[in-house]
Amino acid sequence: MRHQMHSLALALAAWAVAACAEDCSSLLQARAPVAQYTVVEQQEEIVWNIARGTNYTLQFFSVVPTFGADGNYIALLHEFDPVLSNYVGEHALYCSDASGVHKTQLRVYGREKGIPVSLIFHCDWPEEQSELENFEVFLENEEGKTLGKVAVNHNTPSAKHQSVACVRDVFMLDHLGLDRVNETLAYKHLVEWLEFHLYHGMDHFFVYTFGTVDDVYEEILKPYLLAGAATRIHFKTRPDFHRQRQYWSMTDCLYRSKNHATWVMPTVDRDEYFRVTGPSELFGTPSVPKNYFHTVWDAIVRHEGKRVEDVKSITFDLYRFELPSRDELTISSTMQQAETQVAPFCRGEGKRGWPKFVYNVKNANSVYVHWVHSSVHGTEDLHISPSLGVANHYRSPFDCDKLPANVSDTTLQTDVVALEEALAARFQRNPREFLKYLSHKHPAPDVHESNWFSATDRLTTSWKAALQEYIPVDWFFALPGQMMDQFFLAETGMFDQLKWDDLQMFG
């Protein structure tokens, strides 16, 4: 009976589309809100003398004003650079408006030990100027010499949300080609992932795009933007390497979310779906609330006997699932591996895999892909048991990962009918045909990772030596001229192995 109702609903949706034709299309456009779209211009280079005969080029990839309970300041976001990091560790930099009336020392984050991704500068700004649309921030060194200025628009939507997700751009690595199944399914995975999270209570998405965006990408994003479910942040500059774009996205998203959200999901990928496994413990009910993304993070904090203000993040493990056929929703797959993910590339039997996480935006200052990098002093991470919550990770195997997916888990399969109906209504197309169509559309390829160094000229021979100050590591395979193959974090305990391509920026 349920299947018959589902088929009837899809048939009615198709009939409505055919009956409306152009008239309904114009009516929908007239009633839809204006799409939320922000364009980010990389700032002009600021060249200044940091020592006698030594010039340094400062260039922020994004500048984000933020005003409210989480603070009143302008966040200037810069890629991590050990030379700059060492300098600001020993010297003060100042910011002000053109008049210099509210000159203040920049506060710097991202220098803490861990995996440095960005250097983030907070320029305190008067709250009474929060309604301004444009700002000019002048930078000075500790001798009072003006170094240059940055100009920025205050154009982030002001709505308040409980839960926000950051959505990275789609990509495909050219040297892996069609062998990397998850990358060739990037568009299919994106639309399913957005629909699933909206269905389960995610309040808003910050979706990131770079450079030239193709028609398929535009087709997918348009209805979510017009419905007000997403804000698109578009960088005119497109870094060649996908990791670099991810670092820009997750750092920018942190500061777009300040004063606009409580919990932020920064790096959960399009093939990863967080689900609640312990509803009775978290909600006191035998079933999971439909809109659980709106309440689950607070529920976890309460379950652990903590206060939200004392928590910086919640991390969780992942189970690997098989991929379904191209015309099926990803979550229709029911076969998983018996154990949660272990470290990839079979490095170290029994090693825990990297988690994913959400963070309390008020307590986070900088983030890495798998954890909060810099946070308010005294706040803690809660790593939850798979018996409370876990992510399903649908993908082809990593390299030597040949563990069989031989355990049945049908939890998310119960959402398939509802999501197909939601896709039919949003895109006015048969959902299975639409998914198959998207599965054969591929994003533009990235450069090969080995070519990334030659594509950039900002990495210097001082990187490895300088980074040892920030990354507590024991080095392996550190022969001259070789990339380091793996290293161990000496102080984190939980996260002991990191993937080689995550470390390419570190030389």
Q: What is the largest CA-CA distance in the chain?
A: 80
**Does 388 reside within a domain?**
no
Structural domain ending residue among the three candidates 135, 153, 171: 153
According to the model, what pLDDT value does residue 340 have?
87
DSSP string computed for 250-281: HHHHHHHHTTTEEEEE-S--TTEEEEES-HHH
Distances in Å between the alpha carbon of 398 and those of 129, 181, 334, 406?
50, 11, 19, 17
According to the model, what pLDDT value does residue 460 have?
39
According to the model, what pLDDT value does residue 140 have?
93
Distances in Å between the alpha carbon of 334 and those of 196, 396, 407, 408, 443?
16, 14, 8, 5, 27
**Does 51 reside within a domain?**
yes
**In Å, how far from its chain's centre is CA 10?**
33
**Does 319 reside within a domain?**
no
Is residue 4 helix, strand or coil? helix
**Does 347 reside within a domain?**
no
- And the tokens for 168? 């990275």
* Domain span including residue 47: 41-153
**In Å, how far from its chain's centre is CA 115?**
16
What's the rounded Cα separation, in Å, for the pair 89 and 82?
10
Nearest to 25 by CA among 226, 237, 325: 226
**Does 198 reside within a domain?**
no
Structural domain ending residue among the three candidates 153, 180, 214: 153
How many domains would you assign to the chain? 2
Within 8 A by CB and 6+ apart from 450, the residues are none
**Does 57 reside within a domain?**
yes
Tens digit of each residue's pLDDT, the chain (507 residues): 434 444 444 443 433 333 333 333 332 333 334 568 888 888 888 888 776 667 888 899 999 999 999 999 999 999 998 888 888 999 999 999 998 888 999 999 999 888 889 999 999 999 999 988 899 999 999 889 999 999 988 876 668 899 999 999 998 865 444 345 667 889 999 999 999 999 999 999 999 999 999 999 999 999 999 999 999 999 999 988 888 999 999 999 999 999 999 999 999 999 999 999 999 999 999 999 999 999 999 999 999 999 999 999 999 999 999 999 999 999 999 999 888 886 554 444 555 678 999 999 999 999 999 999 999 999 999 999 999 999 999 987 654 466 788 899 999 999 999 999 999 999 999 999 999 999 999 887 776 554 444 443 333 334 344 444 444 333 223 322 333 333 333 223 323 333 333 333 332
Residue 114 is part of a domain; what is its CATH number?
2.60.40
DSSP string computed for 333-392: --EEEEEE-B-GGG-STTPBPP-EEEEEGGGEEEE-SSSEEEE-TT-EEEE--TTTEEEE
**Does 133 reside within a domain?**
yes
Residue 182, amino acid: N
According to the model, what pLDDT value does residue 458 have?
39
What's the DSSP call for residue 407? E
Strand-pair partners of 164: 204, 264
According to the model, what pLDDT value does residue 53 have?
67
Number of Cβ within 10 Å of residue 363's Cβ equals 21
Would you say 470 and 116 are in contact if contact means Cβ atoms under 8 Å apart?
yes
Q: Helix 186-199 crosses helix 431-439 at what angle (to 10 degrees)?
A: 140
**Does 456 reside within a domain?**
yes
Structural domain ending residue among the three candidates 128, 153, 178: 153
What's the rounded Cα separation, in Å, for the pair 113 and 265?
22
CB burial of 98-107 (b: ≥16 within 10 Å; e: otherwise) equals: eeeeeeeebb
According to the model, what pLDDT value does residue 447 have?
61
